Amino acid sequence: MEFSITIFLDLLGTFAFAISGLRLASGKRIDWFGAFIIALVTAIGGGTTRDLLLDVRPFWMMNPMYFITTGIAFLSAILFKEKLFRWGSTLFMFDAIGLGLFTVVGISKSLAMGLPFWVCVMMGTITGTLGGVFRDVLLNKVPLVFTRDIYALACVFGGGVYYLFYKFGFSSDITELMTAITVIVARLIAAKFHLQLPLLKPINENIQKK
Amino acid sequence: MEFSITIFLDLLGTFAFAISGLRLASGKRIDWFGAFIIALVTAIGGGTTRDLLLDVRPFWMMNPMYFITTGIAFLSAILFKEKLFRWGSTLFMFDAIGLGLFTVVGISKSLAMGLPFWVCVMMGTITGTLGGVFRDVLLNKVPLVFTRDIYALACVFGGGVYYLFYKFGFSSDITELMTAITVIVARLIAAKFHLQLPLLKPINENIQKK
Amino acid sequence: MEFSITIFLDLLGTFAFAISGLRLASGKRIDWFGAFIIALVTAIGGGTTRDLLLDVRPFWMMNPMYFITTGIAFLSAILFKEKLFRWGSTLFMFDAIGLGLFTVVGISKSLAMGLPFWVCVMMGTITGTLGGVFRDVLLNKVPLVFTRDIYALACVFGGGVYYLFYKFGFSSDITELMTAITVIVARLIAAKFHLQLPLLKPINENIQKK
């Protein structure tokens, strides 16, 4: 996936993640600078945490395109608010693409460092979802990823597909492509049919608390 | 403390920390995957932060037992909810054991890297308590560790005991054992008698805010 | 800026940041230990994150003065509460000085590691503001830095000034001094006239949420 289409999709995902940060920040008495920061954290927070855990330099320091893409998302949100609204389902598609791409990047980068496969799947999931967790923590909410339609689990499905293709000796291009498609399709199906995992039911609160 | 009993206690502590994450996540409209993540963050968040600060690879990447133990805790919470309730005081004991063990691991690991002793005590405290802080932030609450019976301070007491035994030339086994016991006993006494530090009283809010 | 006046100002800034943590923690049912931790995180959280991103050892591990200064701030808050109130505008000045100094330290440290200048400005801004973000997240609030008078933007202005002086070949002493002064003056003017960026207006919420 080193051809330029990947880079284009990666930036599309970044754009969609940034917009999701801006959308959730809007109307909450957050100023422009704060909104830009929340957009940036949503877009690069997952990959940054992955890189800290892998002990490599955060990816965005070497390439200003992520920063610039977030800036474009910010300007779009200021200038084309009503139009962005009409793009709703397109943005949703970008977001799913971003999730798929980010998961693949996280898995491949970790695998290249010789980590066990289950750690790589965790890193893929972290890359795809942690930006949104930071966004929600900064906006003082319980992270959406914990509560709604299947989202993080799509990354884990993708990890399973990656493992199969990898073990059966497929090329990394095919492996990564199939992984990304799995994540994207799983996410779209989950959203369309509102597939949800069961909620964790209350455990009796009389127990002495930790 | 390199004998297998330590590993067993370490996993008991991990189990108890994971359960505390699940208990606080339950009944809050959090789905199974989210609950598992909160359990995992509670169990490994402190040690992971310590390892990031020490610039070493996070401990759980090299040993899947922490991940698996969290999975077992998760399954237990799903399957044996009512029984878990009856285990309340046992789990509380596990939690105190986990706190003691995690503190010792944090201090010893930092000391082995040649850090000043006060930094090591901070690392022990971080190892023991930060997972719970992350849990509470994700659940959108002020961290319990800041507000209730003595908890983090027990780690600091343990650090003091470690220092004394270390300076007086005791073997590391004895030093670590006495430290863990100090933390555990301090925590149990604090919980039994509801020992609390004073609260920070309001400072006049008319001051220009930072 | 390696003369002792810098160290003195750096600790003044640390003191002011710690006090801002204590002030916001006070009256919120937070115990003394928790308050100390919030003060510490406010004072060193920004620089610690910078150092994690730069992959260097956190600055406070090599010099206990930051820890001790936070301790002094804590004792002052316990002992001289009413007097601290009268110091209000002095503390506000310290806070602005801290912001300026921390920004300079963040930029210079990153520049010395050969990072692109826009990354250095981000690091300066992170150093100056992220401690306050952590403080507010721990206190379960939307970070103040996202919502009120210009604060983080002052760091970016400082970054611009740093860039100009650096490019025109001024000595690092002059460059750093002018940067710090810019941040401090920008912050004081913003606070005096309540200069605010526009808020991000609501974007229609009917869009499918990320």
Q: What whole-number distance in Å separates Cα of residue A69 and Cα of residue B58?
A: 31
Q: Which of residues 6-35 of C touch B (CB under 8 A)?
A: 16-17, 19-20, 22-35
The structure's pTM equals 0.91
* Reduced 3-state DSSP string for C51-114: HHHHCCCCHHHCCCHHHHHHHHHHHHHHHCHHHHHHCHHHHHHHHHHHHHHHHHHHHHHHHCCC
Say if residue C149 is exposed, middle or buried (CB neighbours under 10 Å; 0-12, 13-18, 19+). buried
Instruction: Answer yes or no: do A203 and B84 touch at CB < 8 A.
Output: yes
Closest residue in A to B53 (Cα) is: A52
Q: List chains touching C (3+ CB pairs under 8 A).
A: A, B
Closest residue in B to C95 (Cα) is: B210
Answer whether residue A177 shows pLDDT above 70.
yes
Instruction: Answer yes or no: do C138 and B141 touch at CB < 8 A.
Output: no
Answer whether residue B210 shows pLDDT above 50.
no
Summarised one tens digit per residue, pLDDT across range A69-102 is 999 999 998 888 767 766 667 778 888 998 999 9
Q: Which of C142, C197, C202 sits opposite A140 (nearest CB)?
A: C142
pLDDT for C204: 55
User: Is the pLDDT higher at C42 or at B23?
Assistant: C42
pLDDT for B86: 67
pLDDT for B140: 94
b/e per residue, C51-80, with b = 16+ CB within 10 A?
Answer: bbbbeebbbbbeeeebbebbeebbebbeee
Give which of C15, C24, C29, C37 to mutate to test B binding, by max B Cβ within 10 Å. C37
Name the nearest CA neighbour of C201 among A1, A23, A122. Answer: A23
Closest residue in C to A145 (Cα) is: C210
How many Cβ pairs closer than 8 A exist between chain A and B?
Answer: 114
Say if residue A131 is exposed, middle or buried (CB neighbours under 10 Å; 0-12, 13-18, 19+). buried
Give the residue-averaged pLDDT of C44-65.
95
pLDDT for C1: 46
B54 and chain A: CB distance < 8 Å anywhere? no
Summarised one tens digit per residue, pLDDT across range C102-117 is 999 999 999 999 999 9
Give the residue-averaged pLDDT of A40-68.
95
Quick one: pLDDT band at residue B90, thresholds 50, 70, 90? confident
C143 and chain A: CB distance < 8 Å anywhere? yes
Answer whether residue A210 shows pLDDT above 60.
no
Quick one: pLDDT band at residue B207, thresholds 50, 70, 90? very low
- Lowest pLDDT segment from A33-42, A134-143, B124-133, C87-96: C87-96
How many other CB atoms are there within 10 angstroms of residue B206's CB atom?
8
pLDDT for C134: 96
List chain B domain ranges.
2-209
Name the nearest CA neighbour of B187 among B157, B154, B156. Answer: B154
Q: Which of C31, C52, C137 sits opposite B146 (nearest CB)?
A: C31
B89 and chain C: CB distance < 8 Å anywhere? no
Instruction: Answer yes or no: do C32 and B196 touch at CB < 8 A.
Output: no
Contacts with A208 from chain B: Cβ below 8 Å: 88-89, 91-92, 191
Mean pLDDT (chain B) is 88
Q: What whole-number distance in Å separates Cα of residue C162 and Cα of residue C148?
A: 25
CB A19 within 8 A of CB A39: yes
Summarised one tens digit per residue, pLDDT across range A17-37 is 999 899 888 878 899 999 999
Q: What are phi and psi of A98, to 5 degrees?
A: -60, -45
- Residues A96, C126, C7: CA angle, nearest 5 degrees: 165
A192 and chain B: CB distance < 8 Å anywhere? no
CB C146 within 8 A of CB C126: no
Quick one: pLDDT band at residue B85, thresholds 50, 70, 90? low
CB B105 within 8 A of CB B47: yes
Q: Which of C197, C205, C209 sits opposite A32 (nearest CB)?
A: C197
Instruction: Answer yes or no: do C32 and B206 touch at CB < 8 A.
Output: no
Instruction: Answer yes or no: do A33 and C153 touch at CB < 8 A.
Output: yes
Instruction: Answer yes or no: do C48 and B52 touch at CB < 8 A.
Output: no
Give the residue-averaged pLDDT of C30-59.
95
Mean pLDDT (chain C) is 88
Handedness of CA B177, B183, B188, B189 (dihedral sign): positive
- Return the DSSP state at B135: H
Contacts with A119 from chain B: Cβ below 8 Å: 61
Q: Which of B118, B147, B205 sits opposite C34 (nearest CB)?
A: B147
pLDDT for A111: 94
Q: Which of A118, A146, A209 sits opposite B30 (nearest CB)?
A: A146
Summarised one tens digit per residue, pLDDT across range C135-160 is 999 999 999 898 877 899 999 999 99
Give the residue-averaged pLDDT of B93-121.
93
Contacts with C89 from chain B: Cβ below 8 Å: 208
Looking at CA atoms only, how far is residue A119 from chain B in angstroms?
6
Q: Which of C27, C33, C92 sits opposite B202 (nearest CB)?
A: C27
pLDDT for B199: 86
Q: Which of B22, B32, B85 sits opposite A197 (nearest CB)?
A: B32
Instruction: Answer yes or no: do C199 and A22 touch at CB < 8 A.
Output: no
Summarised one tens digit per residue, pLDDT across range C167-189 is 999 998 899 999 999 999 999 99
Instruction: Answer yes or no: do B201 and C16 touch at CB < 8 A.
Output: no
Q: List chains touching A (3+ CB pairs under 8 A).
A: B, C
pLDDT for A167: 93
pLDDT for A1: 46
Per-residue CA distances from A115 to A56, A120, B43, C123 (Å): 14, 7, 21, 29
A55 and chain B: CB distance < 8 Å anywhere? yes
Q: What are phi and psi of A51, to 5 degrees?
A: -70, -35
Give the residue-averaged pLDDT of C22-28.
85
Answer whether residue A205 shows pLDDT above 80.
no
Give the residue-averaged pLDDT of A141-165.
92
Strand partners, C31: B199
How many other CB atoms are there within 10 angstroms of residue B24's CB atom?
25
Quick one: pLDDT band at residue A209, thresholds 50, 70, 90? very low
pLDDT for C207: 44
pLDDT for C116: 95
Contacts with B22 from chain A: Cβ below 8 Å: 200, 203
Looking at CA atoms only, how far is residue A210 from chain B in angstroms?
6
Mean pLDDT (chain A) is 88
C194 and chain A: CB distance < 8 Å anywhere? no
Closest residue in C to A88 (Cα) is: C207
Percentage of residues in chain A with pLDDT exceeding 90? 63
- Return the DSSP state at B207: S
Contacts with B53 from chain C: Cβ below 8 Å: 48, 52, 58, 61
- Lowest pLDDT segment from A5-14, C97-106, C120-129: A5-14
Instruction: Answer yes or no: do C210 and A132 touch at CB < 8 A.
Output: yes
B201: Cβ–Cβ under 8 A, 6 or more apart, which residues?
Answer: C26, C27, C81
pLDDT for C80: 83
Give which of B145, B146, B196, B206 to mutate to test C binding, by max C Cβ within 10 Å. B146
C115 and chain A: CB distance < 8 Å anywhere? yes
